[in-house]
Every structure is written in structure tokens, then in C-alpha cells.
Amino acid sequence: MSFEITQEYIQKVQQLIAEQKNDTLLNLLEEVHYADVAEIVEELNPEEGLFLIKLLESDKTSDVIAELDEDDREKILKGLSSKEIAEEIEELDTDDATDIIAELSEEQKKEVISHIEDEEHAKDILDLLRYDEDTAGGLMAKELVKVNENWNILTCIKEMRKQAEEVTRVHSIYVVDDADVLIGRLSLKDLLTSSTKTAIKDVYIRKVDAVNVSDDTEDVAKVMQKYDLEAIPVVDDLGHLVGRITIDDIVDVIKEEAEKDYQMAAGISQDVEADDTIWELTKARLPWLILALFGGFISVSILGGFQGAMNNYPVLFFFTPLIAAMAGNVGVQSSAIIVQGLANDNLKGSYWNRLLKEVSQSLLNGFILAALLMSAGMFFLGFNLKVGITVAISLISVIIIASIIGTFVPIILDKRGIDPALATGPFITTSNDILGILIYFSIAKLILGF
């Protein structure tokens, strides 16, 4: 069912823009969903995109603008006057409107808001701008359907008809008291199945999940997922109903969080995409590579310190990449399991249990890998037994230490309020590389006595 935006389609749109065939363009795009129009605009150059935005009706273009990537949106908004931006903003729900206004300069913010004709809308946006974007307040919209406990079903339906004009989707009907404090919700089922004279007081559900405006968006996401909610009301510290968050915004939070963790594990420190500029991509990647480079210098110094072993046991130096790679891989595995466990709140049991579990796993993995290494090393590489034993013991030790570090570094970071995902990827591989090589040569020195 998905609408396919082909290269030919884009070329057709570009040609129509070049020839200024406005009517043909309007016809072509009339039935196209705004999310698809946004994709088309992203494929065009900024002038062409702007042409389309100015051509189409603002009830569609407002959604298109809200849907665009931040970078693309910036380019389009540059071509619009404050008044034109305000017209787009009027069409949007308060949450999307606020997100767009928040991206403008302080000066333009004021100008755009002053051009919004619907005062209520402008007031709501100003209110929403106060909240940090990582909190429930920063995610919520003001559009919701609420009814007073003292109404009856008929009044309720009448009022809802009025409110529903403003609200695109009705998720829940929230029940408030005269002081606007959230006291419950009305199910659609009850609304449809109760007689029109029934008092709301008698049918509403007195239990309603809500989050506080200052709650962290990640916590809101957890609550909504756990309780399978499609919308959740937001209250202030006094319990007043101030907004609602819908699941589609939470889906974005969940995706962003997962992508951030993934990028951290891969050593990319900013939210970048494949089509960002070379400079943005480099900024996101270089810091981790510099970290790895300095880690590499430390390895170089450590190996330099053991140069004396080179005459009698050159083979030891051939094994350094292997030992370092094993330390890195084991560390990343352990830390990834912990980071996911922390994210999903399923790290149970004491630290001692966790340590015991990690060490048991490492011993199991270590012995299997050491056995493989010994047999392969003796048969194919033909090194002597003493060196074989040295490498095998080192491998097991390195695996155990790497897994303990991989386990506890994210736990410690998390305890200190630092994102544990920082501990995955280059950080853990680099530190484990260094430690692995140090342990390896120390054990070798102990056994072989060079």
C-alpha cells in the first residue's frame, strides 16, 4: 500500500516546477499523503521545495514542514516570512508547533508568535516552550478531550463535538473536577453504551495513569510501553490536567534512544545520518578515533617495555592482536548485555551474583577458546608447549578481566547518573586492548621468565 517515490516521479515533479505548471502539480499531489510530500521535498533542492510549499494549501504544508528533517526544515523556513511561518503553525497541533518554533532564533520566535491569530494557540505554544524537550512537558500537546464530572453523557457528547473539532484523534476522554484536577477517564465504550442522561460521575473510571510534566521522556516511554497505553495525560504538581502525550511521539523517543545506544556502541558520538555532511560525520566519529589512537600509544609503550622478550620469544608479539581482539570483543559483549538490561530494567539480583555469573561464563568461554587455541597453535603454527600454555592462560585471564570490566563499568556509570551506553564500543575496546596486552605480557614474563 505504501506509496513508492521513484526517481522518475521526482524528475516529473522537478520538470513541472521548472515549467511552473501549477495546476498539474496540484493535481498530481492532491491525493499524496503529507509524509510522502515531505519525502519528495527532501529529494528536491531548497528552491524547488520552497516552490512546492508555497504552492500547496497550508493545512497540508504545515504537516509536511513538521515531518521534514530538521536540516531540511531549516532551509525551507529560511525562505518563508514570519507571517507565513505563523500561518503554518496555526494549522499544527501545539506539540508539533512548539517543536518547530523552538528551532527558530529568539528574535524570529517572537515575531512568528506575534503573527499567530488564534490567541489560545499562541498562549499554549508559549506555555509549552517553557519545558525542557527531554521532559513530559516538552513532549505533550495541549489538544485533548476533557469533560467535567458534573456533566451527563449528553452534555458530554455535545462538548466533545466542540472539542473534537480541534482534536485530530480522540484517544481518551479525561474527566476533571471543577478545579480542573484530573480525577479519572471515561471509556469510549461507556460513552457509547450509557444512556444520554447518565451522569459522568456515575460511569467514569476513577483510576487513570498520568505522568508529571517534569518526568523524563524515557520514563514516560517505559510507563506507556509497560501499561500498553496509547495516550497518557500529563499533570502539574497540583494534579491539574495540562496536556497529553500520544504513543506516536513515544515511538520516536524509543527509536531515538535505541539509535543513540547503537551509535554509542559503534563509536559515533552524535546523532548523525548517512546523508549528513562530511564535516558533521567527522565530528561524530573523530573523538572516538582519537581515543583509540591514544589507547594505541599506550599499547605501543607497554610492548616497548617488553622488547627484551623479542629475541627468545618473537611469537609472543604475533599474538598481541589476537589477545587484544578477544579482550575487546568480550568487553563489548558484556557491556552490551548490561546496557540493555539497565534500559529494560531487568537486572535482578545482587552485584555478587552478577560477578559470579560473568566469571562463570568467562571461564566457560575461556576454556573452550583456550583449548581451540592450543590445538590449532600446536598443529598448524607449531609453537612449543610452554608458549602455548602461556598464551592459553593469558587468553583465559584476559577474557575474565575483560568481562568483569565490561559488566561493571556501565553499572558504575549508571549509578553515577551517566549514560551507561558511553561504556560500550570504543571506550571498552580500547581500555580492554591495553589491559589485555599488559596482562598477557605480564603472565608471559612470569611463565617464560624473560
Binding mask 67-106 for a second copy (x = CB under 8 A): ----------------------------------------
Of 125 and 316, nearer to a second copy (C-beta) is: 316
Asked if residue 194 lies in contact with residue 203, where contact means CB atoms within 8 angstroms, the answer is yes
11-19, 75-83, 126-134, 419-427 -> range binding a second copy (CB under 8 A): 419-427
How many residues would you count in the chain? 450
- Residue closer to a second copy, measured from CB, 31 or 119: 31
**Residue 179 sits in the site that holds a second copy (CB under 8 A):** no
Q: Which stretch binds a second copy (CB under 8 A): 49-57, 102-110, 119-127, 290-298?
A: 290-298
List binders of a second copy among 226-285 (CB under 8 A): 226-228, 230, 246-248, 250-251, 254-255, 258-259, 261-263, 265-268, 272-275, 278, 281-282, 285
Residue closer to a second copy, measured from CB, 26 or 300: 300
Using the minimum distance from each CB to a second copy, give the nearer residue, 164 or 446.
164
Q: Of residues 24-53, which lie at the interface with a second copy (CB under 8 A)? A: 31, 33, 35, 43
Do strands 211-212 and 145-148 pair parallel, antiparallel, or not at all (unpaired)?
unpaired
DSSP 149-186: TTSBHHHHHHHHHHHHHH-SS---EEEE-TT-BEEEEE
Among 155, 212, 214, 442, binds a second copy (CB under 8 A): 212
| Interacting positions 298-357 with a second copy (CB under 8 A) | 299-301, 303-304, 307, 310, 314-315, 317-326, 328-330, 332-333, 335-338, 340-341, 344, 346-349, 354, 357
**CB within 8 A of 132, min separation 6: which ones?**
138
| C-alpha–C-alpha distance, residues 343 and 307, integer Å | 44
Binding of a second copy by 379 (CB under 8 A): no
- Piece of 18-26, 82-90, 121-129, 154-162 that binds a second copy (CB under 8 A): 154-162
> Which burial class, exposed, middle or buried, applies to 375 when counting CB atoms under 10 A from its CB (0-12, 13-18, 19+)?
exposed
Examine residue 378 and tell whether it contacts a second copy (CB under 8 A).
no
- Are the C-beta atoms of residues 27 and 59 closer than 8 Å to each other? no
d(CA 217, CA 352): 32
CB of 263 to a second copy, least distance (A): 6
Per CB under 8 A, the list member of 125, 437, 438, 443 interacting with a second copy is: 437
**CB of residue 380 vs a second copy: minimum separation in angstroms?**
8
Residue with cell 469533560: 147
Closest C-alpha among 228, 227, 246, 92 to residue 170: 246
DSSP letter for 215, please: S
Shortest reach from residue 111's CB to a second copy, in Å: 29
> Looking at beta carbons only, is 112 or 323 nearer to a second copy?
323
Q: In the bound complex, what is the minimum distance in angstroms from residue 77's beta carbon to a second copy?
A: 21
Which 3 state secondary structure label does DSSP give 234?
strand
Alpha helices in 79-167 (DSSP H): 82-91, 94-102, 106-115, 119-129, 136-139, 153-166
Closest CB to a second copy among residues 125, 250: 250
β-pair type (182-186, 173-176): antiparallel
Site membership for a second copy, residue 152 (CB under 8 A):
no
State which amino acid sits at residue 134. Answer: D
Decide if residue 418 touches a second copy (CB under 8 A). Answer: no
CA 265 to each of CA 151, 261, 375, 398, 413: distance values in angstroms, whole numbers, following the listed order: 54, 6, 33, 21, 15
Q: Which of 30, 202 has the CB closer to a second copy?
A: 30
